[in-house]
């Protein structure tokens, strides 16, 4: 009997933190689950709904995206509250009211005597309290880990005291983890360092990684073949099943119209028209994602390097949510006019289309994992300029494990020079390692596509997950 023939519908409820980088992998997982016969719903906060409405991703009457139902709950704060500037308060409020509001949502949408059987809750890392709600309601729970499996291993070992890590008295301790190259302080996620300024995240991760038994499954937005060594070496402690890359389908050679990803900001599609006029493999693409805001000095450094290379560039510069008096996140005065015949600056780009464009030569990126995966799938060489959280470790993977890019190195004073950025651009475009990096990038593009194809490693893991949920 097929799932469609069963009277009782099998449902999964996915719960995501209200950022684009957390919501989109979850939606794309939901699309895969629907293709296997399940029903999927995404729950996130009213803040995400507000941003989707502003970007025209949804309208006021939208209740689903490509068959995935959307439901929303309050995080306890007003829409105009500055969550970025008050991150610890935001996370605390979410942890206090989130479980109550989510429980009420579940009871409303999945009544006990209804025809919809809620067979699994799936959450991503910044809402770990979902597992407590699942346990209280007697519903199996899965974690979708949205960073590389290597980060999952690092955090698990850190919060369970299985390795020595840097401390305030020994800040330069090197960390050795089987399956990974030696990790220096600059290669570790910022949340495990004594210099981490955010108190909420260590507590959140500590509670989660010390209570992983609450999860029946751990799924990873990665590819087994990308991280085989670390996944295999860690399997005796905790199994993680890669189901990625959860990226826009156009990057996988599929129909872009089938994408379920949302945009929190309106893209300037004129950049594709501009790319169409550029030579093949000539353009430097620069983007630092939706969260990172570079200092005025860093903006000057990148601007100076781009201008000095005299190569065409496409630079995404999103205005900060809260304007800064010191020029953070803003293009230096006069730069746009000085480079109007060299490059293009946009407030937001359709990144999948950009990375897939033949004019793109390399990607100067903050190394967020979604951007990193999209770059790998597109086969584009990388210049790594990590900022915080998982990004330093992602940069280490890019250069030393995947070997598809170069990493910008700060000077002894901790600042990155214009000359260093320019040097990396020239090296990845024309340097002695350029051809080797391009060949490796093309190889990983093939590997990641094969993983999600029928019978590939990620496709098999999703199939096994669905079978366990349905009891087949």
Reply yes or no on whether the pLDDT at 327 is more than 80.
no
Each residue's pLDDT tens digit, 264-273: 778 898 999 9
Phi-psi region of 232 (alpha: psi -120 to 50; beta: other; left: phi over 0): alpha
Helix (H) or strand (E) holding 374: helix 369-378
The single-letter DSSP state of residue 175 is: B
Q: Which residues of 170-179 are buried (b: 16+ CB within 10 A; e: fewer)?
A: eeeeebebeb
Reply yes or no on whether the pLDDT at 27 is more than 60.
yes
Which domains are seen in the chain, by residue range? 9-250+451-470 (3.40.50.2000), 265-449 (3.40.50.2000)
Each residue's pLDDT tens digit, 87-122: 889 999 999 999 999 999 999 999 987 788 899 999
Q: Which residues pair with 360 in a beta bridge?
A: 283
- Farthest CA pair distance, the chain: 67
Start-to-end Cα distance in the chain: 10
Q: Which residues pair with 114 in a beta bridge?
A: none
Residues 75, 47 contacting (CB under 8 angstroms): yes
> Cα separations (Å) of 234 from 28, 64, 110, 140?
26, 38, 37, 23
* pLDDT, mean of residues 346-364: 96
Residue 240 CB-half CA count within 13 A: 30
Q: Residue 384: pLDDT band by 50, 70, 90 thresholds?
A: very high
The per-residue pLDDT for 25 is 96
Q: What does the alpha-carbon distance between residue 118 and residue 316 come to, in Å, rounded to a whole number?
A: 41
Q: Residue 6: pLDDT band by 50, 70, 90 thresholds?
A: very low
Q: Residue 321: pLDDT band by 50, 70, 90 thresholds?
A: low
* Residue written as token pair 């941003």: 51
Q: Which tokens is 109 given?
A: 């949408």
CB atoms within 10 A of CB 82: 12
The per-residue pLDDT for 115 is 80
Q: What does the alpha-carbon distance between residue 50 and residue 47 come to, in Å, rounded to a whole number?
A: 5
DSSP string, 42-91: EEEEHHHHHHHHHTTSS-TT--EETTEEEEEE--SS-TTS-TTTTHHHHH
Q: Residue 4: pLDDT band by 50, 70, 90 thresholds?
A: very low
The single-letter DSSP state of residue 213 is: G
The single-letter DSSP state of residue 454 is: T
What is the dihedral sign for C-alpha 332, 337, 340, 342?
A: negative
Relative to beta strand 64-65, strand 68-73 is antiparallel
Question: Residue 274 — φ and ψ, nearest 5°?
Answer: -65, -45
4-8, 193-197, 299-303, 324-328, range with the lowest pLDDT:
4-8
Reply yes or no on whether the pLDDT at 255 is more than 80.
no
Q: What does the alpha-carbon distance between residue 430 and residue 418 come to, in Å, rounded to a whole number?
A: 18
The per-residue pLDDT for 322 is 67
* pLDDT, mean of residues 203-214: 91
Beta-carbon contacts of residue 409 (< 8 Å; ≥ 6 apart) = 416, 420
The per-residue pLDDT for 70 is 94
Q: Which residues pair with 141 in a beta bridge?
A: 121
Q: What does the alpha-carbon distance between residue 179 and residue 181 come to, in Å, rounded to a whole number?
A: 7
Q: In residues, how long is the chain?
A: 472
Measured CA angle at 12 (ends 105, 33), to 5 deg: 145
Each residue's pLDDT tens digit, 42-59: 999 999 999 888 887 778
The per-residue pLDDT for 177 is 97
* pLDDT, mean of residues 372-392: 96
The per-residue pLDDT for 357 is 97
């Amino acid at each position: 009997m097929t799932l469609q023939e069963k009277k009782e519908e099998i449902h999964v409820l996915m719960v995501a933190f209200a950022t684009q980088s957390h919501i989109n992998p979850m939606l794309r997982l939901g699309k895969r689950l629907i293709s296997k016969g399940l029903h999927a719903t995404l729950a996130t906060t009213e803040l995400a709904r507000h941003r989707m409405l502003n970007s025209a991703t949804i309208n006021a009457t939208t209740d689903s995206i490509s068959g995935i139902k959307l439901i929303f709950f309050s995080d306890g704060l007003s829409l105009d509250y500055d969550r970025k500037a008050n991150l610890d308060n935001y996370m605390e409020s979410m942890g206090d009211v989130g479980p109550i509001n989510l429980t009420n949502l579940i009871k409303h949408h999945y009544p006990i005597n209804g025809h919809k059987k809620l067979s699994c809750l799936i959450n991503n890392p910044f809402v770990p309290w979902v597992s407590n709600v699942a346990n209280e309601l007697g519903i199996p729970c899965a974690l979708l880990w949205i960073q590389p499996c290597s980060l999952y291993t690092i955090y698990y070992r850190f919060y369970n005291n299985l390795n020595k890590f840097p401390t305030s008295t020994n800040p330069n301790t090197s960390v050795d983890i089987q399956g990974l190259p030696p990790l220096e302080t600059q290669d570790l996620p910022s949340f495990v360092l004594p210099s981490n300024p955010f108190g909420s995240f260590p507590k959140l991760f500590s509670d989660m990684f010390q209570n992983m038994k609450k999860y029946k499954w751990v799924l990873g937005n990665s590819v087994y073949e990308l991280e085989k060594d670390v996944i295999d070496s860690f399997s005796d402690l905790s199994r993680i099943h890669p189901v990625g890359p959860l990226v826009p389908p156009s990057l996988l050679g599929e129909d872009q119209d089938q994408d379920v990803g949302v945009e929190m900001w309106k893209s300037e599609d004129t950049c594709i028209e501009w790319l169409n006029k550029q030579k093949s493999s000539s353009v430097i693409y620069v983007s630092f994602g939706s969260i990172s805001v570079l200092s005025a000095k860093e903006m000057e450094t990148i601007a100076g390097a781009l201008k000095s290379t005299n190569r065409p560039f496409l630079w995404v510069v999103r205005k900060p949510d809260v304007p800064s008096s010191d020029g953070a996140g803003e293009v230096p005065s006069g730069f746009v006019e000085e480079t109007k015949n060299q490059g293009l600056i946009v407030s937001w780009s359709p990144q999948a289309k950009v990375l897939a464009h033949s004019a793109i030569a390399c990607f100067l990126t903050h190394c967020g994992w979604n951007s990193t995966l999209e770059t790998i799938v597109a086969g584009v060489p990388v210049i790594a300029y990590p900022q915080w959280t998982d990004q330093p470790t992602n940069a280490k993977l890019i250069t030393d494990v995947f070997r598809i890019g170069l990493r910008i190195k700060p000077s002894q004073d901790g600042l990155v020079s214009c000359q260093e950025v320019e040097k990396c651009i020239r090296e990845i475009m024309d340097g002695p390692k350029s051809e080797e990096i391009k060949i490796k990038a093309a190889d990983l593009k093939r590997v990641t596509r094969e993983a999600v194809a029928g019978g590939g490693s990620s496709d098999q893991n999703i199939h096994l997950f669905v079978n366990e949920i349905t009891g087949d």
